[in-house]
Structures are given as structure tokens and as C-alpha cells.
Amino acid sequence: MTVALPAAPTARRGLVVPAEGGGRLPVDLAACRRILVVRLDFIGDWVLMLPFLANLRASAPGAEITAVVLTRVYDLARACRFVDRVVAVDPVEAGPVAFFGRDEADVADFVADYTGGVFDLALVPRWDTDFNGALRIANGSGARQVIGFSEGCTPQRAVENRGDDRFYDAVLLDRGNAHEVEHKLGFLEAIGGRVSERGLRLDLDAADRAAADRFVTDGIGGDGRFLAVAPFAIGRKGLPPDVTADVTARLAREFDLPVVVIGSPVHGEEAARFAAMLRRPAVSAIGLPLGVSAALIGRATALVGMDSGPAHIAAALGTPVSVVFAHPESGAADHVGSPERFRPWGDPARIQIVQPATPRAPCVEGCEADAPHCITQLDADCLTPRIAGFLARFVPEAVEGVAT
């Protein structure tokens, strides 16, 4: 259903509260009966939201919580136990907004609430730049309070979201260097919530799990074990495909595992080229619905991937995952590409982070290129033994020695 929003957000109080010293935002969370959480980001961002949502649910057990997400994330978000309703939008900078959901009746109920101004609280828990208009959706709800992070949290946000603070009732100014999960948990405490659980729980739909089981039975067979590889990432985050293919082929030989290639429908042509580079049989999971793809990752013996959504899903489901980051070990911890900010959240023993040791000139604090650059210092001879050593802890039947 389509909803017309005002041409410009409505100005509000714009109170800025520093996070230092335990800054407290003026929210009576216990009194809130309807809460809107707007998170218009990508797959990994949604996964890293789950500790926040779990603790929000525990802190406001009597509230009805609605989450608004991007349509590309909906199939993963709709199973979340911590919210009562999930609706989806495509990002639009101006004009009407179309909402999608489980069915027409569910969307109609949401639109009635949204246009009726029934929400006590609208939250925008994004610490860095709001690229997709989350503030616009939250402000347009007419909620009694609209609360978020300040435009001053990061230098980039200060530029990209300049002037946005005045459209919130209050914002948290948090300039600290921390993981994304910690930023959100700090935000929850600032609105009066209590953090009792820092773990991450990703819920999957039963039908998606069943579809993944059928995929394994029909497409892989054998004992059901397989190595998942997610070779696709944006810009500087991705290894050159031939390197990833070489590493994957060596690992598959060493551990005697079939390979399943994970990716979204837009990766169809890239996946075909990648499979050809493997020089060994591989099963393509390209084009599976997101929920089914996530359940398939949960079935994997292990996943090897880049700094992208599949790695976050694997960690959230307890699948051993080796993640190749472009950010160098000697780089700045607060850089936008740093694993200190964006590493998968889960059991550290089941997560391996692999990085180049130093930047590649002219980069200094982190990789600044728009295409693979610093990450290209990692070749198959470097990566294979490191990843194989990690995977060997989870594949007892590994062949002795390291693949070459």
C-alpha cells in the first residue's frame, strides 16, 4: 500500500544528549505501548540488530513492536521473534512510500496505525550515515517521540545527514569507537532499556528450513556435508574471483567436501564465471529466496566468504565461518571497513578473520579504493593454509597436510 509523506520532515525538539557519562534520552520506555523501529539497511546490518531487538523486547514486554526494513531484507526479518510485525519498503528520497508485508490485511493494519499516529515511540538505531531515508519514515509516522543517533556521531554522517538532528525529539551523540552491536546496546540503555543478553539469535522460518533440507538432499546428497562459499562483495571488500576460486578448490580437495556457491539473484552471471574457475563440480544456490539461503548456510559444514551478509548469517547460526576483510591489521580500528566495527557477531571460536597485514599504497588507515585493492595482497598460497587450519577444527575427517 502506498502512503503519501510530507514533502519535508516535521521539525521537532532536536535535543542532543552526549553518550559520555551515561547520557539518558528523555524516553519512558515502560509507558510505551506501540514502538516503531526503522532499520533500512542490508542483510548484515539486520543480523547485527538482533541483540538490540532482543533486549528491547525484554525491556518493553508489554509493547507491540513493529520493524520497518528494506524489501531485500524482509524474507530474513519476518521470522524474528522479538518483533510483532515486520513491514518492508524500498528506499525513496521523495514522494509516496509503498509498504509491503505478509499479506494485504497485515499491511492495511500497519498503514492504519502509521497514518493514525498511534506509535508512542519511533526509533532509528543507525549509528552511522542514514543513506536510505530511515528518518523520513520514522518522522512521517507522527509518533509521539522520534529518537535516534545524532548527525555528529561520525564525520561522514555530519556531512551526509547535516541538519537532521532537528527532525528528532532527541538524539544520542555517540562518538565512541565500538562494534556496531555495542553502539546499539548503548542506545538501548540511553532510552531506559536494560541489556541482559549480548548474544545473537537469528530466527528462520520453518518452511525455509524445510526448503533448505530439500536442496541439500536433492542437490548435494551424500552425508549432507558441504563447504559454502560466498565470493561476492561490493567494491574493495571482494577478493579477485580467481583467487577465491583457487582457495575454495584447494579447501574442497583437502576436506573432501562438495562446494555450494551462495549469492543473490543479481550474481547469476558472476556465479557462472566463478564456478568455471573452480575447475571442479559445484552446486549453485544463486537465486534462492533469502530465508532459504540463510537456512542453507545454517546447514553448511563451514562457510568461506567476504565482509558481507552471508558471513553474518553464518556466525549468527553457529556455522564456522572464515571471513576475508580488506581492512589491514595495522589499519585504524574506527575505519568504516574495520572488523572492530563490523566483524560477524557470535562465538569467537567459530569465527576467523583474515586480513592483509598492512595497507597497500596509497592507503594508510584503511582501504579507500572503490575496487579490490588492499585485499589483493592476499593470494591463494597465503590464504589456504590459514583457512584450512581453522576449518580443520570443525572437519575431523580432514586429509592430513595442507592443500597446495
* Helix, coil or strand: residue 195: coil
Cell of 64: 507491540
305-321 confidence digits (pLDDT tens):
999 999 999 999 999 99
What pLDDT is stored for residue 267 in this prediction? 86
**Pairing between β-strand 97-100 and β-strand 85-89 as defined by DSSP bridges:** antiparallel
* Helix, coil or strand: residue 12: coil
* Helix, coil or strand: residue 199: coil
Contact between residue 52 and residue 184 where contact means Cβ atoms under 8 Å apart: yes
Minimal CA–CA distance to 56: which of 77, 29, 38?
Answer: 29
What pLDDT is stored for residue 397 in this prediction? 52
Minimal CA–CA distance to 97: which of 86, 108, 106, 88?
Answer: 88
Cα 293 to Cα 312: distance, rounded to the nearest angstrom: 13
Please say if the pLDDT value at position 140 is more than 90. Answer: yes
Please say if the pLDDT value at position 280 is more than 90. Answer: no
Cell of 158: 555530519
- Burial of 281 (C-beta count, 10 Å sphere; 0-12/13-18/19+): exposed
Please say if the pLDDT value at position 403 is more than 60. Answer: no
Cα 34 to Cα 249: distance, rounded to the nearest angstrom: 51
* DSSP conformational letter for 240: P
Please say if the pLDDT value at position 398 is more than 70. Answer: no
Phi–psi pair at 15, nearest 5 degrees: -70, 130
43-68 confidence digits (pLDDT tens):
999 999 999 999 999 999 999 999 99
- Burial of 306 (C-beta count, 10 Å sphere; 0-12/13-18/19+): buried
Contact between residue 220 and residue 260 where contact means Cβ atoms under 8 Å apart: yes
pLDDT band for 293, please (50, 70, 90 cuts). Answer: very high
What pLDDT is stored for residue 8 in this prediction? 85
What pLDDT is stored for residue 400 in this prediction? 41
What average pLDDT does the segment 126-148 reach? 95
Residue with the bigger pLDDT between 117 and 397: it is 117
349-377 confidence digits (pLDDT tens):
999 999 999 999 999 999 999 999 999 99
What pLDDT is stored for residue 94 in this prediction? 83
Please say if the pLDDT value at position 116 is more than 60. Answer: yes
Instruction: List beta partners, residue 194.
Output: none
Please say if the pLDDT value at position 399 is more than 70. Answer: no
Share of the chain above pLDDT 90, in %: 88
251-263 confidence digits (pLDDT tens):
999 999 999 999 9
Please say if the pLDDT value at position 36 is more than 90. Answer: yes
What residue type is 17 in one-letter code? V
Cα 38 to Cα 47: distance, rounded to the nearest angstrom: 14
**Pairing between β-strand 321-324 and β-strand 302-306 as defined by DSSP bridges:** parallel
Write down the mean pLDDT value for the chain. 94
206-234 confidence digits (pLDDT tens):
999 999 999 999 999 888 999 999 999 99
What residue type is 228 in one-letter code? A
* DSSP conformational letter for 309: H
Residue 224 backbone class (left: φ over 0; alpha: ψ -120 to 50; beta: rest): left
Share of the chain above pLDDT 70, in %: 98
Distances (CA, A) of 233 to 26, 27, 135, 154, 282: 40, 39, 27, 24, 19
pLDDT band for 91, please (50, 70, 90 cuts). Answer: confident
b or e along 51-76 (b: 16 or more beta carbons within 10 Å of the residue's beta carbon)? bbbbbbbebbeebbbbbbbbebbbbb
Contact between residue 2 and residue 97 where contact means Cβ atoms under 8 Å apart: yes
Instruction: Give the residue carrying C-alpha cell 509503498.
Output: 98
145-193 confidence digits (pLDDT tens):
999 999 999 999 999 999 999 999 999 999 999 999 999 999 999 999 9
Cα 75 to Cα 313: distance, rounded to the nearest angstrom: 13
pLDDT band for 402, please (50, 70, 90 cuts). Answer: very low
